[in-house]
Amino acid sequence: MIDEILLEAEEHFSQAIDAFRREASKLRTGRASPSLLDGVRVDYYGTSTPLNQAANVTVVDARLLQVKPWDVKMVGAIEKAILTGDLGLTPSNRGDVVLVPIPALTGDRRREMVKMLRAEAERAKVSIRAGRRDAMDMLEAMEDSSEDEVHRGKKEVQDRVDAAVKRVETHAVEKEAEILKGP
């Protein structure tokens, strides 16, 4: 029973870390990365579709992305989706592809991105702590286990929480350095 609780808690922690990594990858560092467009959804024949399911996104160079739709008729819709995607990017339509230049980040914008990163990291830590609380509550509710087993289970949960928080902090520090350094 304790192993099941630990497994469930570990799964919750992993999901929180994965969500944080996805959100952190969307933050611009001044370098072109296909993940910048992960949140863009394009109207694909009446259906809101993620951009990566309607086109191929490639890096041309450090400051330029190329979006090549699988259906050339979608170029206009893709350009509009990127423009209205609230990313601060201005795409240009080249007929059969959309080029997305990545502007250089100013010092103020870099600091703003770091604040956003730290907020995402804090959200991940809060989610991890919520998972800890749930696991601790389940351990407390166990009636068929001895007090020592419950105590060991709580210690194990806390150790896993500490490790998960450390992974979030490590990734946040790496991403922050990447944002501040630039291309």
Give CA–CA dist 142/84, Å, rounded: 52
CATH number for the segment(s) 2-26+106-181: 1.10.132.20
pLDDT band at 88 (very low <50, low <70, confident <90, very high): confident
pLDDT band at 182 (very low <50, low <70, confident <90, very high): low
Q: What is the pLDDT of residues 49-60, one digit of tens each?
A: 888 888 888 888
Give CA–CA dist 65/81, Å, rounded: 15
Give CA–CA dist 175/17, Å, rounded: 14
Which DSSP string corresponds to 112-151?
HHHHHHHHHHHHHHHHHHHHHHHHHHHHHH-SSS-HHHHH
Fold of 34-101: Gyrase A; domain 2 (3.30.1360)
Locate 68 and state its tokens.
Answer: 């090549």
Domain boundaries, the chain: 2-26+106-181, 34-101
Rounded to two decimals, what is the model's pTM? 0.70
Tell the residue number behind the tokens 């980040």, with chain if given: 105
